């Protein structure tokens, strides 16, 4: 496993992170609470991640209504202390976790309540990495950054990050920190993969200019880059498109499927899976620190293993990226 610096910090993270969003639910959506992987399935996946050398696990207070953090905490409690010592636990705050007008967001009240709840579920005294999960238009960024600065000073958090915010808000947040002498965000987390790469150009430019890390989620675009979907066929049973198709419907066109066909053909030439090539391309992107994968079964780690040993030339890397950005003739 390769390890990389997280932005301008001294923290070293594995070239892939382990996403825990499907433990006891599917992300933050209440309608899926109780679904996803149960404890036994999650434990097997976490053990496999450690075997591969993955050293940072990504969760959130809202995933599965708290079930994800609870599952991760139970797993940590049953493993040797050396395992915990080498791991980086990353969680998030901001998505709804309760009823009422203050049960979500990035206010001082909500963050201070949620950090202690997260630490309790995880069974730890601090978080190595802590992200604001979503934009909260009702709370000034100054208030959010001040409370995060206080959490670092109190020893409850080591590094702070920002997720699902547009480039201009990330820039504004960094400016607030600089002029106020407060902790800066150390890295950014957002969706990024071959299909949606053009949509993140401005955000990546900010990270590059300001020395921020970038840990993209959805590296396979909800399974699209595995090649499992076909333009003229129904969705495979149990796939993401059968559960939550709305974010991906805009990709259901001949242009996207044509690009996937080209990716599939190149993967066959290189002797890897379509998913392995998509992850290999992403891992070698100069602006990417570590993609976050969310395997549902042990065999889903196989494309990660392929990506880690895949040797792409600069020419091949550029060609693959162009599959999804070239305009139709």
**So which residues are the catalytic ones?**
63
Q: Quick check: 105 and 144 in contact, CB under 8 A?
A: no
* Contacts of residue 266, Cβ cutoff 8 Å, sequence gap at least 6: 277, 316, 319, 320
CA distance 275 to 291: 13
The Cβ-side half-sphere exposure at 322, using a 13 Å CA radius, reads 8
Of the candidates 46, 68, 43, 64, the one whose C-alpha atom is nearest the C-alpha of residue 55 is 46
Kindly write down the DSSP assignment for every residue of 21-64, as one continuous string: TTBTSSTT-GGGTT-SB-HHHHHHHHHHHHHHT--EEE--TTGG
Helix spans in the chain (H): 39-52, 67-77, 81-86, 108-122, 141-153, 167-180, 201-210, 240-243, 254-270, 274-283, 302-309, 314-322
CA distance 216 to 129: 15
CA distance 186 to 160: 6
The tokens describing 117, both together, are 């709840």
Which residue has tokens 């630490």? 119
Q: Quick check: 47 and 124 in contact, CB under 8 A?
A: no
């Amino acid at each position: 496993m390769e390890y990389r610096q997280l932005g301008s910090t001294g923290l070293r993270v594995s070239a892939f992170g382990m996403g825990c969003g499907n433990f006891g639910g599917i992300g933050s959506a209440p309608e899926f609470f109780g679904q996803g992987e149960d404890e036994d399935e999650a434990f097997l996946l976490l053990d496999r991640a450690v075997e591969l050398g993955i050293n940072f696990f990504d969760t959130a207070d809202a995933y599965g209504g708290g079930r994800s953090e609870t599952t991760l905490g139970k797993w940590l409690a049953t493993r040797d202390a050396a395992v915990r010592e080498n791991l980086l636990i990353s969680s998030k705050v901001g998505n709804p976790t309760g009823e009422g007008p203050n049960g979500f967001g990035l206010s001082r009240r909500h963050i201070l309540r949620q950090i202690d709840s997260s630490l309790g579920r995880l069974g730890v005294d601090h978080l190595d990495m802590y992200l604001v999960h979503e934009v909260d238009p009702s709370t000034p960024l100054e208030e959010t950054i001040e409370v995060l600065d206080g959490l670092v000073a109190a020893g409850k958090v080591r590094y702070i990050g920002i997720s699902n915010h547009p480039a201009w808000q990330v820039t504004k947040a960094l400016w607030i920190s600089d002029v106020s002498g407060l902790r800066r965000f150390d890295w950014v987390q957002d969706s990024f993969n071959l299909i949606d790469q053009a949509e993140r150009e401005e955000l990546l430019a900010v990270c590059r200019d300001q020395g921020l890390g970038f840990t993209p989620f959805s590296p396979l675009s909800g399974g699209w880059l595995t090649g499992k979907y076909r333009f003229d066929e129904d969705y495979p049973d149990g796939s993401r498109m059968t559960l939550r198709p709305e974010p991906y419907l805009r990709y259901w066109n001949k242009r996207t499927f044509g690009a996937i066909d080209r990716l599939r053909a190149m993967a066959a030439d290189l002797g890897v899976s379509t998913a392995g090539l998509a992850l290999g391309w992403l891992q070698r992107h100069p602006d990417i620190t570590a993609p976050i994968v969310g395997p549902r079964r042990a065999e889903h780690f196989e494309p990660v293993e392929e990506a880690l040993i895949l040797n792409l030339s600069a020419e091949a890397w550029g060609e693959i990226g162009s599959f999804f950005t070239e305009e139709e003739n």
